[in-house]
Amino acid sequence: MSNAGIDKKFSVTTIRKVAISTIQNKDKTKIEIDRWSRHSESADTVRENYDVNNNDSIRKALSECVSAREEGEVSELRE
């Protein structure tokens, strides 16, 4: 950090947060920001966690919701 001329009072986390906020103010998309900041993409994270937990009912409800959106339908999730 000192080689980059950054004051020691700023943590890496603070610098990262400020950088992400600055990029958001430059009208970049969430995908661009996620890729730059190496945040995982939300859909991939959700899919991975539901697969690990073997939560079939949630996975089915989510897939129906996504399918309805892709077809332009409006649907509600029901129990």
Query: Quick one: pLDDT at residue 49?
Result: 60
Q: How confident is the model at residue 53 (pLDDT cuts 50, 70, 90)?
A: low
What percent of the chain stands above pLDDT 70? Answer: 53
Task: Note if the pTM is more than 0.85.
Answer: no
Q: Say how many Å lie between the first and final Cα of the chain, rounded.
A: 52
Burial 35-69 (b: 16+ CB within 10 A, else e): eeeeeeeeeeeeeeeeeeeeeeeeeeebeeeeeee
Q: How far is CA 37 from CA 27, 28, 33, 50, 65, in A?
A: 15, 12, 6, 24, 29
Instruction: For residue range 16-52, list pLDDT tens digits in order.
Output: 888 888 888 888 888 888 777 776 565 566 566 655 5
How many C-alpha atoms does 71 have within 13 Å on its Cβ side? 9
Query: Quick one: pLDDT at residue 76?
Result: 47
Which of 8-17, 23-32, 63-72 shows the lowest per-residue confidence on average (mean pLDDT)?
63-72
Q: Which helix (H) or strand (E) holds 13?
A: helix 12-25
